[in-house]
Chain A
């Protein structure tokens, strides 16, 4: 009985001594953290997507508090949350840039793209690209879905062998732009009433394009011959100049004139 009591006393007093030291040092070495960081962490979506340019939501919150600005802002969060972030930091004015529409500049379905060779190897676009892509068209979508795997919001999906984007899910992080070996992804402004884009990236001449794809832009220039046409031909490839659009009319008209139907509207 004595032994047990002694054990309790000895161990208890050792523990008590250490807890006293710890309590003292704890008070002395306390790390003050800006309460705004915690507040921001509660507001931020916590996706750690990295669209803001920082490694994660916490890194963004720390940098924002430290430098008192919001950089690009939180792209996936939308306007309301970004306003709140600005309020926490005591900032006035816009706290993020408006979100844009993501487009993939290759609109050919699987049976429209020509394949004269078969690709056997690791099923990633990067690997395929290093030996030519296994696709006759040297500019088009290889279709092995590196962008699908990379997208943190799962906004990209494949439909009949062509890349589709769910604009409501896209958080504008731009990871697909980096990962696509053929640089097919581009952001276009959201503000227009009718958003059309040329879903082809082939810079070759008419005959070469026709050889490899049924839906390629052959560089005929019909879309540019509409009054006030926002389309412009460069390197045998038509592109929309979004800053020149004044109304939706010529955009749609040019789209309807395309002989290969490679001009898409956002919902196509």
Chain B
């Protein structure tokens, strides 16, 4: 149990996927304009990441290891992720067309969100057990949503700030992201991993 909590905290804060592994930067910068859409995106990514890690673990251990086909892991994982994103897209389109429109191109782009494939591959290299892998995927997604939400909150306030002309748009966003990463570095030492 201790082990699981440790994995949770470590993935959520200390080794945050976005701010310390630089994974999933594209949706992190792309969808963090509005709090509402960032929550939707965070939920979608959390769902896909948790499910992807779970199913990937099953496929990896029950099929690939058994038949000695480890070289197929990338293809198999991508297959899982792509299918899950399709499912999520269908659900969101059916039940919230406003969220569907605000996520736009970034929704299908979850497929190529490197954070998700990254989590699936980390799960293999770190040799996690089944429940550890599930928690790892879930906390990875939660960490992503957390950072996305913080960023969206800051950027909504930034709209009212008097930003110098040269820094408007992408530059100030990147600087904000850098400062956030700096802050998250403060969590290192919380859990030694």
Q: Is the interface of B mostly helix, strand, loop or mixed?
A: helix
A25 to B92, CA, bound (A): 13
19 contacts between A and B (CB under 8 A): A3-B69, A6-B67, A6-B69, A7-B69, A7-B72, A10-B63, A11-B75, A11-B76, A11-B79, A14-B63, A14-B80, A18-B79, A19-B83, A21-B87, A22-B86, A26-B90, A29-B93, A31-B94, A31-B97
Give residues in A with beta carbon < 8 Å to B: 3, 6-7, 10-11, 14-15, 18-19, 21-22, 25-26, 29, 31
Task: Bits for B90-114, please: 1 = Cβ < 8 Å to A, else 0.
Answer: 1101100100000000000000000
Distance to closest chain B CB from A124 (angstroms): 14
Residues of chain B within 8 A of A6, CB atoms compared: 67, 69
Q: Which residue of B lies closest to A15 (CB)?
A: B79
Residue B172 interfacial (CB < 8 Å): no
Distance to closest chain A CB from B34 (angstroms): 16
Closest 3 pairs between A and B when the two form their complex, measured CB to CB: A18-B83, A29-B90, A29-B94
Residues of chain B within 8 A of A14, CB atoms compared: 59, 63, 76, 79-80
Residue B146 interfacial (CB < 8 Å): no
Q: Is the interface of A mostly helix, strand, loop or mixed?
A: helix
Q: A7-B72, A10-B69 are in contact. List 18 more A-B contacts (CB 8 A).
A: A3-B69, A6-B69, A7-B69, A7-B71, A10-B63, A10-B64, A11-B75, A11-B79, A14-B59, A14-B76, A18-B79, A18-B80, A19-B83, A21-B83, A21-B87, A25-B87, A26-B90, A29-B90
In the complex the two chains form, is B67's CB within 8 Å of A10's CB?
yes
Residues of chain B within 8 A of A21, CB atoms compared: 83, 87
Residues of chain A within 8 A of B97, CB atoms compared: 31
Residues of chain A within 8 A of B86, CB atoms compared: 22
Residues of chain B within 8 A of A15, CB atoms compared: 79
In the complex the two chains form, is B87's CB within 8 Å of A22's CB?
yes
Residues of chain B within 8 A of A18, CB atoms compared: 79-80, 83
A18 to B90, CA, bound (A): 14
Q: Which residue of B lies closest to A6 (CB)?
A: B67
Distance to closest chain B CB from A266 (angstroms): 41
A7 to B71, CA, bound (A): 9
Q: Which residue of A lies closest to B71 (CB)?
A: A7
Residues of chain A within 8 A of B63, CB atoms compared: 10, 14
Residues of chain B within 8 A of A26, CB atoms compared: 90
Distance to closest chain B CB from A112 (angstroms): 35
Residues of chain A within 8 A of B90, CB atoms compared: 25-26, 29
A21 to B72, CA, bound (A): 21
Residues of chain A within 8 A of B79, CB atoms compared: 11, 14-15, 18
Which residues of chain B from 26 to 75 have any CB-CB distance to chain A below 8 Å in the complex?
Answer: 59, 63-64, 67-69, 71-72, 75
Residues of chain B within 8 A of A31, CB atoms compared: 93-94, 97
Q: Which residue of A lies closest to B92 (CB)?
A: A29
A10 to B75, CA, bound (A): 11
A31 to B92, CA, bound (A): 11
Q: Which residue of B lies closest to A28 (CB)?
A: B90
Q: Which residue of B lies closest to A17 (CB)?
A: B83
Residues of chain A within 8 A of B67, CB atoms compared: 6, 10
User: Which single member of B72, B83, B87, B93 contacts A10 (CB below 8 Å)?
Assistant: B72
A106 to B190, CA, bound (A): 69
Q: Which of A3, A18, A19, A26 has the most CB of B within 10 A?
A: A18
A15 to B82, CA, bound (A): 11
A7 to B79, CA, bound (A): 14
